[in-house]
Structure 1
Amino acid sequence: MELAVLGLSDRTRPVVRSADSEKITINLGYVDLGHIDLLVSESVYANRSDFIRTAVRNQIERHAEVTRQSVARKRVELGLRRYDRADLEAHREAGTTLDIRVLGMASIAADVSPELARAAIASVEVMGSLQASPAVKAALADRLR
């Protein structure tokens, strides 16, 4: 996932917009939601989403050392990792398979066939988002962790 800083708010916080993002639904108690709405009405945050994104980033930063250790221990790639047909064909031809481990987004190119994906990918573990055609996802269903 690529992030771009678009500008600074009047409170000198960077306003960050994601080129690709995943929509989630969360349940909050009425009192928590009321606190968020109060902060938005006082212009501390632009909207509820701004508050939630900021809270998530703050918690990720707070636990950065745990994440760093886990990424190193599990040998996870961090960020956006794209697998194209040429990558997978090279593994198939070499007789090797990939164990995909990504924290962020893993993307399998649209020109990758389900057969090639099964031949070249041994396992997939994505903490974040996996982008692939429905056919490729179905072909790898038994290899997803």
Structure 2
Amino acid sequence: MSNIRQLRDKQPENEKITINLGFVDLGRIDLLVQEGFYSNRSDFIRTAIRNQIDAQSEIVSKSVERHTMELGLRDYTRADLEAHLARGEVLHVKVVGLARIASDVTPELALKTIGSITVLGALQAHPDIKAALADRIT
């Protein structure tokens, strides 16, 4: 008997994006980094994005409320989906942030319980789940 246990895979805490910048903007960023205002380009870009999100926070809040979306991290476990199935309910996932479907959820269970998925941000799920729900993900 082995006492080795499988640890769950570490999920990334952020998503990598790629942007294109003009040379002048990039030069200005590099100058601010060189002058010590920011530690690196990524630090500047993250700060700029946060400032814009903060400036638009009221609009974001109203939109989330209007669309009845959840804001932040939302985990969907096997137990959650089985409870919906037992009640005969269809789940409509609407998340602004990160939605995660547990690794022990089967494609069959997901198909029986999830009617639609709308995620503004990132969806983490096993590739089989994503494939099974492909026509329900917007």
Tell me whether the two structures share a fold, i.e. TM-score over 0.5.
yes
Shift of 1:94: 1.2
**Counterpart check, 1:77 vs 2:70:** yes
Matches within 5 A, 1:40-51: 40-51=33-44
The gaps in structure 2 that reach 5 residues or longer are 1-11
Question: For this pair of structures, how many residues does the alignment match?
Answer: 127
Shift of 1:134: 0.2
**Counterpart check, 1:35 vs 2:46:** no
Alignment match, 1:4:
none
Within the candidate set 79, 99, 111, 1:86 is matched to: 79
**Counterpart check, 1:23 vs 2:49:** no
Within the candidate set 57, 65, 68, 2:58 is matched to: 65
The gaps in structure 1 that reach 5 residues or longer are 1-18
**In structure 1, what residue type is equivalent to 2:34?**
S
Q: What is the root-mean-square deviation of aligned Cα atoms in Å?
A: 0.8
Alignment match, 2:48:
55
Alignment match, 2:118:
125
Paired with 1:117 and 1:89, the residues of 2 have a C-alpha distance of 9
1:106 partner SS = strand
Within the candidate set 123, 126, 136, 2:129 is matched to: 136
Paired with 1:106 and 1:55, the residues of 2 have a C-alpha distance of 25
The structure with more strand, counted as a fraction of residues: 1
**In structure 2, what residue type is equivalent to 1:116?**
L
TM-score (ref. length: structure 2): 0.91
* Poorly superposed stretches of 4+, deviation over 4 Å: none
Q: Deviations over 1:62-108 (max 9, x none)?
A: 11111011011000100000000000011111111100000000000
1:88 partner SS = helix
TM-score (ref. length: structure 1): 0.86
Shift of 1:35: 0.4
Alignment match, 1:96:
89
